[in-house]
Copies of this chain bind each other. A is one copy, B any other.
Amino acid sequence: MKFLDEYFMRQALKEAIYAFEKNEIPVGAIIGFKNNIIAQAHNLTKKLKDVSAHAELQVIGAAELYLKGKYKSLKECSLYVTLEPCIMCSGAILLAKLGSLVFGASNISFNKVIHNIESSLLLESFFKKRRKYL
């Protein structure tokens, strides 16, 4: 993993921690363009009462709003997300024509490609906490 990838993933993890603190499923995402973060977001399914309010859809929406036709698409941008995208988000990533994708924890439903211990631990800890109070 390159230095910039690591820096961006750490910012995405900050977003995931922020979600955790708000009792949202802790997934964070950022979109980077060259050395800059142009959008950051986290899962908002609980707050918005919307199963589709995943971190990736939130951050793609925010990036597009920020760019507003400044670039024709997000093809020169990279998406960093702390959890492997689901089918819906993978579709959105394709639609947004994002140049590249780096993800942290593997989604156990999918193939394991990259594994990021911190992202996994944060998710495990969230679901342990949730189960405790159920």
User: Chain B: which residue is nearest A93 at the CB level?
Assistant: B88
User: Chain B: which residue is nearest A65 at the CB level?
Assistant: B49
The one of B52, B86, B91 in contact with A60, judged by C-beta atoms closer than 8 angstroms, is B52
Q: Is the CB of B49 within 8 A of A92?
A: no
Q: Which of A86-130 contact B (CB under 8 A)?
A: 86-92, 94-96
| Interface size counted on chain A using CB atoms at 8 A | 23
Q: Is the CB of A89 within 8 A of B91?
A: yes
The answer for the CA separation of A94 and B87 in the assembled complex, in Å, is: 9
Verify if A134 is at the interface (C-beta below 8 Å from B).
Answer: no
Verify if A5 is at the interface (C-beta below 8 Å from B).
Answer: no
Q: Is the CB of A52 within 8 A of B87?
A: no
The answer for the CA separation of A95 and B89 in the assembled complex, in Å, is: 11
- Interface CB pairs A-B, < 8 A, 11: A49-B65, A50-B60, A50-B61, A51-B60, A51-B64, A51-B92, A52-B96, A87-B87, A87-B94, A88-B90, A89-B91
